[in-house]
Amino acid sequence: MKKPYAFGKCNDFNNPLQQSFFIVKKEAIDKFLARIYLIDFDDSRISPEKKFALATSPLFNFIPKFVFSSPKNKLLKKILWRIQNKLSAILGSYDYLAVGYGRDRPINMGDQFFYFQHGNESELKEYSNLD
């Protein structure tokens, strides 16, 4: 890991990253948390995935956070969503974890290392039967 932050890569959903499992180098924890707390929008206005990406940016202090907030107009929200996610990924400074899957599917239960979230009954049963 070259950068102080690593997150799951989001393949199936249009987000800059997945924050269900992540790694932060010890010396970067305080800076990351301070930046997250400075984003004064609740999760319904700026998604946690965007917040996490922005909190890793060396340009954090210069980024107008309101640009990443979701408008109330549904059509405008849909149009801006992809642009905001791409911009979040460009501004962020992080690596992707070498393991998956988070929300992405299908899960290869044969992988030596992996994580997943929102497992359905079938996936949980398959996982519980692993050696």
Within-domain flag for 61: yes
Evaluate the CA torsion angle 128, 116, 42, 12 in order and state its sign.
negative
Q: Specify the pLDDT at position 15.
A: 87
Within-domain flag for 117: no
Within-domain flag for 65: yes
Q: Specify the pLDDT at position 11.
A: 81
Q: Specify the pLDDT at position 17.
A: 94
**How many domains is the chain partitioned into structurally?**
1
Q: For residue 35, what are the domain limits? A: 5-98
Within-domain flag for 119: no
Helical pair 29-38 and 48-55, crossing angle rounded to 10 deg: 130
Q: Specify the pLDDT at position 130.
A: 87
| Tens of pLDDT, residues 68-95 | 999 989 999 888 988 999 999 999 999 9
Please provide the DSSP assignment of 77-113 as one string.
Answer: HHHHHHHHHHHHHHH---EEPSS-EET-S---TTSSS
Q: Specify the pLDDT at position 7.
A: 95
Contact yes or no for 80/64 (Cβ under 8 A) = no
Could you tell me the mean pLDDT of each successive run of 10 residues in the chain, 131 residues long?
91 84 96 97 94 97 94 90 92 93 91 92 93 70
Q: Specify the pLDDT at position 90.
A: 94
Within-domain flag for 107: no
Within-domain flag for 131: no
